[in-house]
Amino acid sequence: MEFAPKVYFFIPERVPFIGGAGVTETVTTTWAIMALLVIFSMLAARNFKEVPGPVQNILEILVEGIESLTSTTMGEDKLGFAPYMGTLALYLLFANLAGLFAFRPPTADLNTTMALAVITFISIHYYGIKAKGLGAYLKGFTEPIPLLLPLNIIGELAIPISLSFRLFGNILGGVIIMYLLYNVVPIAVPVVPHIYFDLFAGILQTFIFVMLSMVFISLAME
């Protein structure tokens, strides 16, 4: 499987639960993105002033953008989701664009996308139960007709599957296509497909994943 991520080292067997698992370039690239985001946040947030300098200005635009997107999509009262959605958006943005920097995108690994989709799935049902109460929430599955119960359940399961596979397929498709293109013509020509597959598709898929998560979570809470 030539497109599988490279394994860098294996966790020693004696570690409980995860012993023997391989640490792939997906995990190490994710560590790099985490380090980038955390260090940047810590450095940039150190000296906030009343009258912002250039870096603070950009950060304020970013945060206000995320907050306004969250409140328009989910509702004014759900602004508490903005930090998670912002983090998700930043991680996905860097992860999808990693292909531009010769890293294998972590989102080209079904594990990453499935993990994020499962977080959304758990959030949907956790916040749904929290907002509506267990009884009303379970009753919602029998709407509009109790006969549709199995279809409703499968429909709910389809959400994390479609979220994860959509992102995975888009990014992995881009990785494979760029790899094949580089084998055929390694200079100049790949620029345009890079712009399309990495930049355009990467940003758009980030958007889609975050917006769909926001919409599903807020719909579950209504």
Q: Is 113 in the site for other proteins (CB under 8 A)?
A: no
Contact segment (CB under 8 A) with other proteins among 28-36, 82-90, 101-109, 211-219 equals: 211-219
Sign of CA dihedral 150, 156, 158, 160: negative
Our CA angle for 109, 156, 107, nearest 5°, is: 15
Contact status: 178 vs other proteins (CB under 8 A): no
Q: Quick one: tokens of 44?
A: 């940039």
Give buried/exposed letters for 155-166 (b at 16+ CB in 10 A, else e): ebeebbeebbeb
Least distance in angstroms from the C-beta of 180 to other proteins = 6
DSSP state of 48: -
Judged by CB under 8 A, the stretch of 41-49, 83-91, 123-131, 207-215 that binds other proteins is: 207-215
**Interface with other proteins includes 212 (CB under 8 A)?**
yes
Which one of 159, 190, 194, 199 is in contact with other proteins (CB under 8 A)? 159
The two counts, helices (H) then strands (E), for the chain are: 8, 2
Which spans of this chain sit near other proteins (rule: CB under 8 A)? 1-4, 72-73, 151, 154-155, 158-159, 161-162, 165-166, 168-170, 172-173, 176-177, 180, 183, 204-205, 207-208, 211-212, 215-216, 218-219
